[in-house]
Structure 1
Amino acid sequence: MAVDWIGFGYAALVTSGGLIGYAKAVTSGTLTAVMGTRFYNSGKFMPAGLIAGVSLLMVGRLALKMLEKPHEK
């Protein structure tokens, strides 16, 4: 029986895409918490408040993308 190298390549590509998407979501959430805490403690908007706000927007965007229904073609 021959090894299906094309199938393995496809599976690796799909898996890596999923892992990258998962890592982006975790990173955005962590960055929001860390920088939000720094902003809260210092009261200074730059850079902690800015990064916390932008990261929070990214978390919201990723959450909306997850809830979005697939588009029919």
Structure 2
Amino acid sequence: MAVDWIGFSYAAAVAFGGYMGYKRKGSVMSLMAGLVFGGLSAFGAYIMSNDPKDIKVSLLASGVLAVIMGVRYKNSGKLMPAGIMTGLSLLMVFRLLLLIV
């Protein structure tokens, strides 16, 4: 059984991003979103550690986060945090799609 370290690292980055949004700006919504999407990503990484072809949860979490943060980046034009999270999420989506090919 191989552990999906990339998936767990992505989940930690998402959760940490939500925490930093709360710490710096007092945004409870950022904290909640970071914990929800980080938790879903961690759960998806756990599932992928057991079955590397089962990417549904990870793909859903990273895809939805890529769309949400992409819209935020388009509206604000700020690279940090929306642009970074959009890029990370898109990389995760591409990685997951390459795993099933």
TM-score under structure 2 length normalisation: 0.47
Residue correspondences, number: 51
Question: Counterpart of 1:28 in structure 2: which amino acid?
Answer: S
CA RMSD of superposed structures (Å): 1.8
- Asked if 1:41 is matched to 2:67, the reply is no
- Asked if 1:56 is matched to 2:90, the reply is yes
Moved over 4 A (4+): none
Structure with bigger gyration radius: 1
Overall identity of the aligned pairs, in %: 45
Provide the C-alpha distance between the structure 2 equivalents of 1:60 and 1:35, rounded to a whole number of angstroms.
Answer: 16
TM-score under structure 1 length normalisation: 0.64
Unaligned runs of 5+ in 2: 1-45
Aligned to 1:22: 56
Provide the C-alpha distance between the structure 2 equivalents of 1:66 and 1:45, rounded to a whole number of angstroms.
Answer: 30
Aligned to 2:24: none
